[in-house]
Structure 1
Amino acid sequence: MNLNQRVARLAWPVIIVVVSFMLAPTASVGAPMSSSWDAKACGRVGGTLVFAQGDDPDGLDPHEVTDGFSVNNVSNVFDTLVRFTADSTQVEPSLAESWTVSADNLVWTFKLRKGVKFHDGTPFNAEAVKFNFERQTVEKHPYHPRAVGYADFTFQNVKSVDVVDEYTVRWNLSAPYAPFITNQAMFATGIVSPTAVKQYGQDFFKHPVGTGPFKFVEWIQKDHVTYEANRDYFAGRPCVDRLIIRTIPDNTVRLLEMERGTVHIIIGVNPPDYDRIRRNAELVLFTGAGLNTGYVSMNTEVAPFSDRRVRQAINYAIDRSSLVNAFYGGVGIPAKNPLPPTIWGYADKVQAYEYSVDKAKKLLAEAGFANGLTTELWWPNRARPYLTQPQKIAEALQAQLGLAGIQAKLVTYDWGTYLSKLRNGEDPMAIIGWIGDNGDPDNFLYALLDKDNAVRGKAQNYAFYKSDAVHRLLIQAQRVGDQATRAQLYEQAQEIIHRDAPWAPLVHASRVSAYRKDAQNYLYHPLEITWLHRVWLSK
């Protein structure tokens, strides 16, 4: 499928989208999957599916979480108004059956699906949608979450939500916002039960209640989360009776468990093990183009990284090709931009920083560090798709920087603490990455590099990079509907970002996972989220 087919497009005239949910006949094993989840019929119903990943969720409230381990949990419990199709970032109806947008692009009206109930038996309706929006956006709301991960982004420019009738809801925007509809498919807009939120209060993150395909049973922290099938799910019950999401921190141990048959699906595979999986007749190695970027973020508010020459020197000091060859098993590409080349708007004309120790040293000398400098390089202690072997990659970067006279002490924390400290701007320089949430360039460039998102305590812009020129381009791109015009604006922004060098982009990794052949209908989504309600077990 070409890029234009994979990316959700927005049409600004008044539109009406209506999709009927009809189950297709059962497909034979190995047949191509439909782009609609509902066409992926179960070849067999029943059993317990076990999926394993590298860390515990931070929580199970979709309005709070930002990390991928949590997202894989909440995406199987909560529905959104619209959803991504099974194999792309295009959107289709979900809790909303249809929607219209006004000619001035300021009013979006959704017709909601009737007869849907939350897992606690209470009805889903327009009042629930309004409650979910206000819970996240009104700080004095009595049930405001402990932290709000994405609301500033997902509901950008939304000034209010009106209940028109029981199954009609109207969203009022202060200015046009091109990514609005794709944002409503993101996990962070999952609709939670108002009744359950009121019941559990600040502990809702430990007692998730949604409308999705799986219902929460238990969370044994640092071990597993158990779910049971929602047999009344509006899109058809899940294929399995139970889902267990296990926490297995070590990639090798996770693979051993799958080889033994105690785990069906894993994410986080060491590249040296790719051929081992391919040689095993019971296993499948899944690979596909990724929507991610791994990078080194430099805190532009902290010396010496407040000096652009130092940041550029870091870029010259890194041999990206050797990193990809050594640690990504041939399924990644060196990065030169924050945006991956799989997303429209990628600035291919940008000239990558070449690997040059001499240029790095020259820039350091110009910045007053002729004898080098000492700093810290933070690294996360959990493998991610964009960081396949974190400690080894950190050590390799440490060695490369050392050749240029940059002595970097390695520092790490557990995943949740690491993210919290980065949001607070406590690091001087950190290895981190991002997996696209919706296939739109805004989700990388605005979310990660705009000054609006450089607020300590909730920053996604870990570099605390604050360019007025970039901000103007990104806001303009949000307010025009023509994709070609938006692409040009994003390309201009990337040229400025490349010059200012708040990051040292490292790699765009392919999405990689592995599974046992008896786990049928499995697809690792382009957004690297693991939806599991249409996986069925052949034995």
Structure 2
Amino acid sequence: MIAWLRRAVQAGLAVVGAVACMAAFAATPKDQLVIGMNMNNLLSLDPAGATGNDVLGVVANLYDYLVELDPQDLSQVRPALAERWEIAPDRMSLTLTLREGVHFQSGNPLTADDAAWSLRRVLKLNLAMASPWKSYGFKAANVERLIRAEDARTLRIDLPEATDPRMVLYTLATSVSAAILDRQAVMAHQKNGDLGAAWLLTHAAGSGPFALTEWRAKDAMLLDRFDGYWRGPARLRRVVMRHIGESLSLRFMIERGDVDLAAGMAGPDIEALKKHGGVVVQPVLRGTSYYVAVSMKDPHFADRRVRLALRSLIDYQGINAAIMPNYGVSHQRPVMIGLAATLPDPGYRLDPAAARKLLVEAGYPKGFGTTIRVMSDPPLINIATSLQATLALAGIDAKILSGTGNQVYGAMRERKFEIIVGRGGGGVEPHPHANLRALVYNPDNSDAARLTNFQGWRTSFHDPEINRLIEEAVRERDPAVQDEMYRRIQQRYEREVGAIQPVSQMVETVVLSKRVHNYIGHPSATTHLRDVYKD
């Protein structure tokens, strides 16, 4: 294959055409990493609007961030484009000093002006990735004043309202919105004042270790090494990402050596590959939860007793034992595993008798009918099937409505659902506020508020006391006091029977050829490939 590919390149054949032929061959080239993955949800490369874990891994290698998180210890913030930073004594501003001599892939120098413009652009476009910044109080009207370059190397970020500055640093390190763009290159493609948004859907303008050579949606993406990278050239010459929609196909391809890394495989195929001597299975714990959510706009689930009954109708142990291996680990709290503030699991169990008693008290002695919306992909559909069966033990007749992400989460955003089996809840930043902001916080429960990025709002769960505690905790300066406040929030959420019940914390499992070295999957999905190499 290597000789064929070289001849193809020398002959000037189209790069993507070469990639399309790679499936017929084994033993991928030594200087290329070939990744097999489902690219259905890879829809945009614009850091201001791109969503999903898949794009995080792409952007982390096309662009640089100001800071990074240590993949082995997420509490450790490491220098990247910013060689140092300071938090003001009043905790209301951050000043970052950028390193000298960094150039974009275009050859343009990277300055603090580029960094300020990149962050401001996110708020001005107000696309999906503006959400974390808006939660800190930034908006298009104030961002020019609050985020600015003081000179070519100094970036200052003034906070519009009191918050934990660690959260802002974590967002700078993990959110796709924090990638630093080449302003000159992007603005050269601006149309009708869109700040280059149309062009950046399918192009990139970064300073990262790899440059985008070609992307064909749901087909293939090629990233070629940027030899002028400020850290020094990456060890691989090329990264090839191939769209492989079927898990079984991915399994066969990594067994044969057609791909070097397989991502997003089904649990049974991962289990089978654990017995294969030529591969390594690498699980990475994420901060996201698999959950069962109900709408409190629905009259059944507006009743606390019905929500409490539902809590006793989830087979947590059975789901985690039979369905979740290689997908998740048992976890029943809204705050992710591993943080000082995370409470031990409450130990919820399947208890149909307790559920039936609660339903009688709520006025539903014979149960009722409802629907479960869920994506058709495993493990979500499997969790929904288990839930359907256990709900029936208490007389609740639940019909499963499976669909695409837009159909399922779209109904949730419109607050037009009854039950959803889903995955989400922040957790990119290693801080309790990241989970609570996503799953619990709901400062305005009106339909007109349209707080669609808050899943608490989507479910119509609204507790003013919890909202107050979340707002106060993120401003608290004493770490011990702050942790205790987060524990109180979890305890109150348990007593109030929140509308979202976590079942399992997400594990992303990749399968690697043993030829691949230095691949360290990042819990925040910002996995860097600059130091990866192959035998």
TM-score normalised by the shorter chain: which range applies? Answer: 0.7 to 0.9
Give yes or no for the alignment of 1:364 onto 2:352.
Answer: no
Please report how far the alpha carbon of residue 420 of structure 1 lies from its aligned counterpart in structure 2 after TM superposition: 4.0
Tell me, in whole angstroms, the C-alpha distance in 2 between the residues paired with 1:125 and 1:421: 43
Q: 1:195 to 1:423 in 2, by over 3 A?
A: farther
Q: 1:437 to 1:290 in 2, by over 3 A?
A: closer
- 1:53-84 superposed Cα distances (whole Å, 9 cap, x missing partner): 23331311222123112222222212211111
Give yes or no for the alignment of 1:376 onto 2:406.
Answer: no
| Aligned position for 2:305 | 309
User: What is the letter of the counterpart of residue 381 of structure 2?
Assistant: Q
Give yes or no for the alignment of 1:77 onto 2:66.
Answer: no
Q: Partner of 1:104: helix, strand, or coil?
A: coil
User: What is the letter of the counterpart of residue 148 of structure 1?
Assistant: M
| Aligned position for 1:460 | 454
Tell me, in whole angstroms, the C-alpha distance in 1 between the residues paired with 2:94 and 2:43: 32
Decide which of 124, 129, 137 is 2:123's aligned counterpart.
Answer: 137
User: What is the letter of the counterpart of residue 371 of structure 1?
Assistant: K
Q: 1:446 to 1:152 in 2, by over 3 A?
A: same
User: What is the letter of the counterpart of residue 257 of structure 1?
Assistant: M
Q: 1:325 to 1:284 in 2, by over 3 A?
A: same
Deviates more, 1:88-97 or 1:147-156: 147-156
Tell me, in whole angstroms, the C-alpha distance in 2 between the residues paired with 1:238 and 1:496: 49
Deviates more, 1:312-321 or 1:179-188: 179-188
| Aligned position for 2:8 | none
| Aligned position for 2:23 | none
Give yes or no for the alignment of 1:293 onto 2:289.
Answer: yes
Please report how far the alpha carbon of residue 468 of structure 1 lies from its aligned counterpart in structure 2 after TM superposition: 1.1
Decide which of 478, 485, 493 is 1:497's aligned counterpart.
Answer: 493
Contact kept in structure 2, 1:46 and 1:239, CA below 8 Å: no
Q: Which runs of 5+ in 1 are unaligned?
A: 1-44, 139-143, 384-388
Please report how far the alpha carbon of residue 445 of structure 1 lies from its aligned counterpart in structure 2 after TM superposition: 0.9
Q: Partner of 1:58: helix, strand, or coil?
A: coil
Decide which of 507, 510, 513 is 1:513's aligned counterpart.
Answer: 510
Tell me, in whole angstroms, the C-alpha distance in 1 between the residues paired with 2:118 and 2:462: 31
Q: Partner of 1:148: helix, strand, or coil?
A: helix
Please report how far the alpha carbon of residue 209 of structure 1 lies from its aligned counterpart in structure 2 after TM superposition: 1.8
Tell me, in whole angstroms, the C-alpha distance in 2 between the residues paired with 1:262 and 1:46: 12
Tell me, in whole angstroms, the C-alpha distance in 1 between the residues paired with 2:460 and 2:223: 39
Please report how far the alpha carbon of residue 154 of structure 1 lies from its aligned counterpart in structure 2 after TM superposition: 6.8
Decide which of 381, 384, 409 is 1:391's aligned counterpart.
Answer: 381
Decide which of 423, 429, 440 is 2:431's aligned counterpart.
Answer: 440
Please report how far the alpha carbon of residue 443 of structure 1 lies from its aligned counterpart in structure 2 after TM superposition: 0.9
Contact kept in structure 2, 1:344 and 1:441, CA below 8 Å: no
Q: 1:228 to 1:445 in 2, by over 3 A?
A: same
| Aligned position for 1:62 | 47
Tell me, in whole angstroms, the C-alpha distance in 2 between the residues paired with 1:486 and 1:241: 46
Decide which of 26, 30, 33 is 1:49's aligned counterpart.
Answer: 33
Q: How do residues 90-129 of structure 1 correspond to structure 2 at under 5 angstroms?
A: 90-129=76-115
Please report how far the alpha carbon of residue 296 of structure 1 lies from its aligned counterpart in structure 2 after TM superposition: 1.1
Tell me, in whole angstroms, the C-alpha distance in 2 between the residues paired with 1:135 and 1:291: 27
User: What is the letter of the counterpart of residue 436 of structure 1?
Assistant: G
Deviates more, 1:409-418 or 1:235-244: 409-418
Q: 1:83 to 1:478 in 2, by over 3 A?
A: same
Tell me, in whole angstroms, the C-alpha distance in 1 between the residues paired with 2:465 and 2:67: 33
Tell me, in whole angstroms, the C-alpha distance in 1 between the residues paired with 2:444 and 2:404: 23
* Structure with the larger helix share: 2
Q: Which runs of 5+ in 2 are unaligned?
A: 1-28, 191-195
Decide which of 144, 154, 157 is 1:171's aligned counterpart.
Answer: 157
Contact kept in structure 1, 2:461 and 2:498, CA below 8 Å: no
Tell me, in whole angstroms, the C-alpha distance in 2 between the residues paired with 1:471 and 1:340: 19
Q: 1:52 to 1:504 in 2, by over 3 A?
A: same
**Identical residues among aligned pairs (%):** 25
Contact kept in structure 1, 2:122 and 2:130, CA below 8 Å: no
User: What is the letter of the counterpart of residue 47 of structure 2?
Assistant: P
Tell me, in whole angstroms, the C-alpha distance in 2 between the residues paired with 1:381 and 1:70: 21
Tell me, in whole angstroms, the C-alpha distance in 2 between the residues paired with 1:214 and 1:452: 41
Tell me, in whole angstroms, the C-alpha distance in 2 between the residues paired with 1:426 and 1:222: 30
Q: 1:476 to 1:391 in 2, by over 3 A?
A: same
Q: 1:147 to 1:507 in 2, by over 3 A?
A: closer
Please report how far the alpha carbon of residue 347 of structure 1 lies from its aligned counterpart in structure 2 after TM superposition: 1.5
Please report how far the alpha carbon of residue 46 of structure 1 lies from its aligned counterpart in structure 2 after TM superposition: 6.2
Tell me, in whole angstroms, the C-alpha distance in 2 between the residues paired with 1:340 and 1:372: 33
Tell me, in whole angstroms, the C-alpha distance in 2 between the residues paired with 1:305 and 1:507: 22
Give yes or no for the alignment of 1:475 onto 2:471.
Answer: yes
Give yes or no for the alignment of 1:321 onto 2:317.
Answer: yes
Please report how far the alpha carbon of residue 115 of structure 1 lies from its aligned counterpart in structure 2 after TM superposition: 2.2
Tell me, in whole angstroms, the C-alpha distance in 2 between the residues paired with 1:330 and 1:313: 29
Tell me, in whole angstroms, the C-alpha distance in 2 between the residues paired with 1:403 and 1:55: 39
Please report how far the alpha carbon of residue 168 of structure 1 lies from its aligned counterpart in structure 2 after TM superposition: 0.8
Contact kept in structure 1, 2:132 and 2:171, CA below 8 Å: no
User: What is the letter of the counterpart of residue 37 of structure 2?
Assistant: Q
Please report how far the alpha carbon of residue 264 of structure 1 lies from its aligned counterpart in structure 2 after TM superposition: 0.9
Q: 1:344 to 1:228 in 2, by over 3 A?
A: same
Please report how far the alpha carbon of residue 119 of structure 1 lies from its aligned counterpart in structure 2 after TM superposition: 2.5
Deviates more, 1:148-157 or 1:75-84: 148-157
Please report how far the alpha carbon of residue 411 of structure 1 lies from its aligned counterpart in structure 2 after TM superposition: 1.8
TM-score by length of 2: 0.84
Tell me, in whole angstroms, the C-alpha distance in 1 between the residues paired with 2:523 and 2:408: 26
RMSD of aligned Cα (Å): 2.4
Please report how far the alpha carbon of residue 450 of structure 1 lies from its aligned counterpart in structure 2 after TM superposition: 0.6
| Aligned position for 1:189 | 178
Please report how far the alpha carbon of residue 484 of structure 1 lies from its aligned counterpart in structure 2 after TM superposition: 1.7
Tell me, in whole angstroms, the C-alpha distance in 1 between the residues paired with 2:515 and 2:450: 46
Contact kept in structure 1, 2:33 and 2:236, CA below 8 Å: yes
Decide which of 225, 239, 257 is 1:243's aligned counterpart.
Answer: 239
Tell me, in whole angstroms, the C-alpha distance in 2 between the residues paired with 1:474 and 1:302: 26
- 1:212-255 superposed Cα distances (whole Å, 9 cap, x missing partner): 12211222112222211121111222221111222223222222
Contact kept in structure 2, 1:313 and 1:361, CA below 8 Å: yes
Q: 1:135 to 1:146 in 2, by over 3 A?
A: same
Please report how far the alpha carbon of residue 511 of structure 1 lies from its aligned counterpart in structure 2 after TM superposition: 4.0
Q: 1:433 to 1:275 in 2, by over 3 A?
A: closer
Q: How do residues 217-236 of structure 1 correspond to structure 2 at under 5 angstroms?
A: 217-236=213-232
| Aligned position for 1:9 | none
Tell me, in whole angstroms, the C-alpha distance in 2 between the residues paired with 1:304 and 1:122: 59
Decide which of 262, 265, 270 is 1:266's aligned counterpart.
Answer: 262
Q: 1:463 to 1:245 in 2, by over 3 A?
A: farther
Give yes or no for the alignment of 1:355 onto 2:350.
Answer: yes
Tell me, in whole angstroms, the C-alpha distance in 1 between the residues paired with 2:135 and 2:515: 37
Contact kept in structure 1, 2:473 and 2:486, CA below 8 Å: yes
Which is higher, the Rg of structure 1 or of structure 2?
2
Decide which of 521, 527, 532 is 1:530's aligned counterpart.
Answer: 527
